[in-house]
Amino acid sequence: MGKKEEKAHALLSASSAKKWIHCPPSARLEASIPDEESPYAKEGTLAHGICELKLRKLFTDKNMTERTYRSRLKKLQQDEAYAPEMEGFTDEYVDYVSSIAFSFQAAPFISIEKRLDYSPWAPEGFGTGDCVIIYGKDLHIIDFKYGKGVPVKAEGNYQLALYALGAYHEFGMLFPIEDVHLHIVQPRIPNNSSWTTTLEELLSWGEFVVKPAAEKAFKGEGDFRPADYCQGDAENYCKSGFCRAYGRCRATAERNMSLLHEAWDEEKNRKRLPPLLSWEEAGELLKRAMFLKSWVQELENAALDEIVSGREVPGWKIVEGRSTRKLSDADAAFAELVNAGYEEAVLYERRPIALGELEKALSKEHRRDILSKYIVKPQGKPTLAPEDDKRPAMVLQRVSAEEAFGGDNTYAEGGK
């Protein structure tokens, strides 16, 4: 989850809202399954801690001395999940928050890492808002995402919308809020996103969408509705929306296995069907089976964890997988080889370090002023996606044979 307060495990957490709103009984179901914090979640939690310290020094704890700040920052930097690149990325988040806070004519109200109670809409519901800013009639909810997998969008974001309800519940009597602004800051991609709605629309969503679903979810009632949100939601990082019951969920199994039953039924009529699937049939099958692969993988992972934990899955065992040979002490081995007469040029290759590692080693200013001038992003490999995917369709660039071979037709003509 990446939020200190949400580690208290609210049943109806904001980070998994899309899941329990659309599949209410999943909340109680996965609550019965142990949860383990991943290394990525620990990394996100630490990055949030650094963000919090920097914002508090800038806005809410101006009496914090430089010595105190450095001491607290040093303690965070001693965490095993710390990486130097966190400094630059958390600075970018602070810059984004500052650009909003300093845009008003007077100092706004700012609350950092605030526990937000949205229980009027979801029983015992609460979460932690990274930064809440209120000025006049405007409420800003700013959320820091340290993940770098899928770009997160602020538009219609369930998690941030619940935080906004919690902020209104907390501060609505003090401020005449009319407009709600949701912000996502995801510097590692980079991706910044913002979206504005009205308080009226937010309250309507809370009353007619959140509340009835939350009541069912809290009681463990309603229908299981497996869909894309079972596998984690793009609204969250570190798969915080991932359903722990996904691999063993019976409703998911029945939905996926029904594809096999339908294929078996069609087998009876195969003599009357063409030997090749039409592209219309192939497209329809792909849409219906798109989650089957990930479900099988998750079921396999669940079974593996069960056996590794010392329990049994009838009919299965664990075996040693493929491994790659490596040197136990490369420095010592190469030192002996040099002493044996081999040139170092034979043993070492000189090559640039990976771009990600290079970025970690540079300051924010040098990444921006020097490195950014040389970074290009080639066109990605074509990937199949449903037509309702939010990403734009890829435009394939077709080239002539002459262009493909760099204008040299020697090989085409068989000259060499």
Q: How many CA atoms lie within 13 A of 291 on its CB side?
A: 18
The answer to whether residue 66 scores a pLDDT higher than 80 is yes
Compute the average pLDDT of residues 388-403.
66
Q: What is the pLDDT of residue 6?
A: 46
Q: If you search the block for the tokens 């770098």, which residue do you land on?
A: 148
The answer to whether residue 156 scores a pLDDT higher than 80 is yes
Mean pLDDT lowest for which of 172-186, 189-203, 322-336? 322-336
Higher pLDDT, 243 or 56: 56
Query: Which one of 3-7, 39-43, 104-108, 399-403 scores highest in mean pLDDT?
Result: 104-108
- Using pLDDT thresholds of 50, 70 and 90, give the confidence band for residue 388: confident
Give the Cα separation of 73 and 54 in Å (integer): 9
The rounded mean pLDDT for the chain is 83
Give the Cα separation of 341 and 343 in Å (integer): 7
Q: What is the pLDDT of residue 320?
A: 82
Give the Cα separation of 205 and 165 in Å (integer): 10
Q: Mark residue 52 as left, alpha or beta (left: phi above 0; alpha: psi -120 to 50; beta: remaining).
A: alpha
How confident is the model over 69-117, as pLDDT tens digits?
999 999 999 999 998 889 999 999 999 999 999 999 999 999 999 999 9
Give the Cα separation of 141 and 56 in Å (integer): 16
**Six token digits for residue 342:** 């081999």
Residue 316's closest CA among 326, 324, 304, 325?
304
How confident is the model over 186-207, as pLDDT tens digits?
998 888 999 999 999 999 999 9
The answer to whether residue 265 scores a pLDDT higher than 70 is no
Strands (E), 160-304: 179-186, 191-198
Q: What is the pLDDT of residue 236?
A: 40
Give the Cα separation of 391 and 380 in Å (integer): 13
Residue 160's closest CA among 8, 2, 23, 15?
15
Query: Which one of 142-151, 171-180, 352-361 scores highest in mean pLDDT?
Result: 171-180
The answer to whether residue 58 scores a pLDDT higher than 50 is yes
Give the Cα separation of 354 and 191 in Å (integer): 21
Element (H, E) at 135: strand 126-135
Cα distances from 171 to residues 18, 137, 139, 161, in angstroms, run 25, 12, 10, 15
The answer to whether residue 390 scores a pLDDT higher than 50 is yes
The answer to whether residue 315 scores a pLDDT higher than 60 is yes
Angle CA 187–193–195, to nearest 5: 155
The answer to whether residue 399 scores a pLDDT higher than 70 is no
- pTM score of the predicted model: 0.70
Contacts of 142 (CB under 8 A, 6+ apart): 96, 97, 100, 130, 131, 132, 133, 183, 185
> Is residue 89 a contact partner of residue 47, using CB atoms and an 8 Å limit?
yes
Compute the average pLDDT of residues 220-234.
74
